[in-house]
């Protein structure tokens, strides 16, 4: 089976669809608790559930990208290029909420900026950074929705996207 390349349109559509489903599905008191958990480590940031959901989902996708890119011990430019659209979507969202991503106020448009964003995320021990203790917030959120509402769609969509990110990175290794 040949998959099409993971592009910005697919990522944006997925992110919007899953975020809207989660936003519509979570009711009180689970909604307030989810917001509290997702805000941990963001100091006094007053963003709502949709933005926090997107950060959680994107952080998990970035984690998978890091794991896949670093799996063989080599970081190849073509692997970075295959996750560039993911980074281009994540960078302005990170910038909007977290001051430490200020350098990405204009996004991550060039290959050098994509690489710099991934390095920043990889070294980041703050909320939604790769080395933060509260990893996989997107997974926990989608599981909460599935368990509390019996709606497994966000969890299934989440799992599919993580597999897509991994497949995208590994796509260039098939011929090696």
pLDDT at 54 over 70: yes
Does residue 2 lie in a domain region? no
Does residue 12 lie in a domain region? yes
Which H or E element spans position 174? Answer: none
What is the distance between the alpha carbons of residues 21 and 49, in angstroms, rounded to a whole number? 11
Predicted confidence (pLDDT) per residue in 83-135, tens digit: 999 999 999 999 999 999 999 999 999 999 999 999 999 999 999 999 999 99
What is the distance between the alpha carbons of residues 6 and 9, in angstroms, rounded to a whole number? 8
Contacts of residue 101, defined as CB under 8 A and 6 or more positions apart, other chains included, come to 91, 94, 95, 117, 120
pLDDT at 1 over 70: no
Helices (H), the chain: 8-25, 30-39, 49-70, 77-82, 84-97, 111-123, 137-149, 153-170
In this prediction, residue 174 carries a pLDDT of: 55
Does residue 153 lie in a domain region? yes
In this prediction, residue 175 carries a pLDDT of: 52
Predicted confidence (pLDDT) per residue in 62-80, tens digit: 999 999 999 988 888 999 9
Parent domain of 130: 8-171
Does residue 176 lie in a domain region? no
Provide the 10 A C-beta neighbour count for residue 103.
13
Does residue 138 lie in a domain region? yes
Q: How many domains does the chain have?
A: 1
In this prediction, residue 4 carries a pLDDT of: 62
Predicted confidence (pLDDT) per residue in 131-156, tens digit: 999 999 999 999 999 999 999 999 99
């Amino acid at each position: 089976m040949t998959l099409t390349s993971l592009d910005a349109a697919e990522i944006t559509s997925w992110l919007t669809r899953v975020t809207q489903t989660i936003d519509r599905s979570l009711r009180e008191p689970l909604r307030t608790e989810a917001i509290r958990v997702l805000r941990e480590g963001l100091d006094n940031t007053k963003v709502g559930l949709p933005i926090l959901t997107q950060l959680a989902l994107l952080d998990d996708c970035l984690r998978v990208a890091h794991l896949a890119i670093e799996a063989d011990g080599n970081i190849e430019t073509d692997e970075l290029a295959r996750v560039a659209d993911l980074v281009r979507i994540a960078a302005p969202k990170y910038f909007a909420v977290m001051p430490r991503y200020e350098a990405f106020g204009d996004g991550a448009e060039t290959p050098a900026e994509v690489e710099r964003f991934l390095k920043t995320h990889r070294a980041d021990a703050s909320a939604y950074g790769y080395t933060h203790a509260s990893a996989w917030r997107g997974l926990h959120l989608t599981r909460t929705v599935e368990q509390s509402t019996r709606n497994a769609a966000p969890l299934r969509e989440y799992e599919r996207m993580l597999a897509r990110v991994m497949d995208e990175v590994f796509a260039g290794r098939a011929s090696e």
